[in-house]
Amino acid sequence: MNTPWIAAVAALFLWWFSTGIILWRVKRADQEGRDAHLWSVILGLPLLLGGFVALRHTLQDGTATGAFTAFVAALAIWGWLELAFLSGIVAGPNTTPCPPYAPLWERFLRAVGTILWHELALMGTLGVIAQISEGATNRFALWTFAILFFARISAKLNLFFGVPRIHTEFLPRPLAHLSSHFRRAPMNAFFPASITALSFASACFLERLWTAQTDGQVIGYTLLSALTLLALLEHWFMVVPLPDEKLWRWMLPAQRPDVTTAKTPGLTRPDQPLTVRK
């Protein structure tokens, strides 16, 4: 893969498809019971292990293939961690909804408690990848994981402080309580900072792409630029009234007849109600 445009399209496809397949799996597991969530995580372990094996294999590979493989390896590791989180297996100690009208400090502490173990796992994984990549020729896996990590933190903070558009229908049953920690608001003061940071990061990677000297650098920085721009787009989806949920809703399994909808505490005028069993 030596063509930047093909690499950019590949990054777009992997972003869309990997998100969709994880959402499909956790929503399907919702219909099969909690054990199904656990088995999803266990059976997905080859994704995690394969990601680390591929990452180690690419560390001294400065070719275009090496850059693309490193990118995919980081996505595989990230994908397993996201699956573990959305399945409720690696989430946090707090599994209860946030009381209505809780003060900001209490909301924050409770929100941190809902995702604590997962965030620690992400930070630990980022540290491991950074250690493995120390002095390596190919550090694109590290950069890929770092972009995903910091973009995720930014997105979570914006959901906490308040954004106009929140898609709660994608939350699986083990994490139904999460929506009570979100806040719907016209805007929050942190959002402009998020957009500025992601725009700056995108510009930096595009500048590196423009000055790239090797095929490996061209493909690597193309992938990083595309991923950062997609993270920026995801942030704009929180405020711009576009039907972005249609990108993945059609991939979700059909709702069973014994599943009904119910409103979730903590969100006024929920964008979409969560599904819970009777």
Closest by CA to 11, choosing from 236, 238, 202, is 202
Number of H helices, E strands in the chain: 9, 2
68-120 pLDDT, tens digit per residue, is 999 999 999 999 999 999 999 999 999 999 988 888 889 999 999 999 999 99
pLDDT higher than threshold 80 for residue 257: no
The CA distance from 246 to 230, in Å, is 16
The Cα 275–Cα 77 span in angstroms is 29
**Among 165, 169, 163, which residue's Cα sits nearest to residue 250?**
169
Would you say residue 255 has pLDDT above 80? no
Q: Which of 203, 81, 73, 79 is nearest to 133 (CA)?
A: 73
Q: How many domains is the chain built from?
A: 1
pLDDT exceeds 50 at position 144: yes
Please check whether residue 48 is in contact with residue 77, taking contact to mean a CB–CB distance below 8 angstroms. yes
E strands within the chain?
Answer: 259-262, 274-277
pLDDT at 147 over 80: yes
Question: Which range (49-58, 120-129, 194-203, 262-271) has the least confidence?
Answer: 262-271
pLDDT at 262 over 50: no
- Domain enclosing residue 33, as ranges: 4-277
How many Å from the N-terminal Cα to the C-terminal Cα in the chain? 50
Q: Which residues contact 103 (CB under 8 A, 6 or more apart)?
A: none
φ/ψ of residue 249, rounded to 5:
-60, -35
Stated pTM of the model: 0.88
Q: How far apart are alpha carbons 151 and 153 in whole angstroms?
A: 5
